[in-house]
Amino acid sequence: MENSSVKVSDLSYSVNEKKILDNVSVEIKKGHLLGIVGPNGAGKTTLLKVICGILNSSCGAISVEGKNITSFKSKELFKKISYLSQNNNFNFPFKVSDIVLMGRYPYLSRLQNEGVEDFKIAIKALEMVDMQEFLDRNILTLSGGEQQRVSLARVIAQETDFLFLDEPLSNMDINHQLSIMNLLSSLSSNGKGLSVVLHDLRLAHRFCTKLLVLDKGKVVSFGDPKKVLNEDIISSVFKVKSRVSDNSLEFIQPG
């Protein structure tokens, strides 16, 4: 239903008259883990940034639970949707706990400090990404994958119904990639609506409940991963030959 989703209708975005997104429509529902896949330059990151209000679209409409996104005040919107960038860009030696507590910003009034409940939420979020032992560490001393898990904890601590995650698995080893995908799957099963940019088609095929395939800013296919990620689409969009079944996806060679 519209009142339990983020709805994107006929969205386009251009830079210097070049279309980066071309008439994109998609609905992100609570309880679903939407994977957004496509080759480099397909418009995946731009789509998330436009949905979250970081970039302004040239045409189209975005609604959050039936309300146009432009009618929200910023803090009101950030109680509904949260965004994880693919680049951490940590330039200052903040403690890990301080980074995660930034997710509580929408719930604090001007000049208000975080309270006991905010700290509890932050610690729980760190536990969910298995980073609780790093609570007092300087963020700049962590590896790229560890920093990404801290950033994800910040988004989780924001306690929004809809999470938009741009390459949340970047710099992680396969063990942590699987752990995080299981976590995201659990969040969606518990009623969150997640949109996740992924590069690993096998993880997208395995974990996502819906898939959006983008190429050159256009929607190639949207729907059930088992139907969307077929051998023809993988060959035409990703230029790779593959074998696909309901339970597995295997790459053979470049197409």
167, 75: one domain: yes
**Terminal-to-terminal C-alpha distance of the chain:** 39
Residue 148 lies in a domain: yes
Tell me the CA distances in angstroms from 192 to 44, 89, 161, 168, 184, one per residue in order.
20, 27, 5, 16, 9
Mean pLDDT of 174-196: 97
208, 97: one domain: no
Residue 86 lies in a domain: no
What's the pLDDT at 217? 96
177, 249: one domain: yes
How many whole angstroms separate alpha carbon 221 and alpha carbon 200? 17
Mean pLDDT of 215-223: 96
Mean pLDDT of 161-170: 96
76, 165: one domain: yes
pLDDT of 2 above 80? no
Q: State the residue range of the domain holding 142.
A: 91-159
Which residue type does 180 have? I
Q: How many domains, the chain?
A: 2
**DSSP for residue 111:** T
> Is the separation of the CB atoms in 155 and 163 below 8 Å?
yes
Angle at 227 between CA 223 and CA 231, to 5 degrees: 130
Residue 223 lies in a domain: yes
> Is the separation of the CB atoms in 225 and 218 below 8 Å?
no
Segment 92-113, tens digit of pLDDT: 999 999 999 999 999 998 878 8
Segment 242-252, tens digit of pLDDT: 888 878 888 88
pLDDT of 170 above 60? yes
Mean pLDDT of 38-67: 94
Q: Which two tokens stand for residue 216?
A: 């050159």
Domain ends where: 134, 159, 184?
A: 159
Residue 61's CB is within 10 A of a number of other CB atoms, namely 14
Which DSSP string do the residues of 53-101 spell out, in sequence order? TSS--SEEEEEETTEEGGGS-HHHHHTTEEEE-S-----S--BHHHHHH
How many whole angstroms separate alpha carbon 125 and alpha carbon 98? 13
Mean pLDDT of 40-68: 93
How many whole angstroms separate alpha carbon 147 and alpha carbon 169? 11
Segment 109-165, tens digit of pLDDT: 887 888 999 999 999 999 999 999 999 999 999 999 999 999 999 999 999 999 999
67, 166: one domain: yes
Q: What b/e string do you get for 80-109 counting C-beta neighbours within 10 Å, with b at 16 or more? A: bbbbbbbebeeeeebebbbbbbebbbbbee
145, 170: one domain: no
> Is the separation of the CB atoms in 216 and 22 below 8 Å?
yes
pTM check: above 0.75: yes
> Is the separation of the CB atoms in 164 and 62 below 8 Å?
no
172, 242: one domain: yes
Q: Where residue 1 falls among pLDDT bands split at 50, 70, 90? A: very low
247, 169: one domain: yes
Mean pLDDT of 230-243: 92
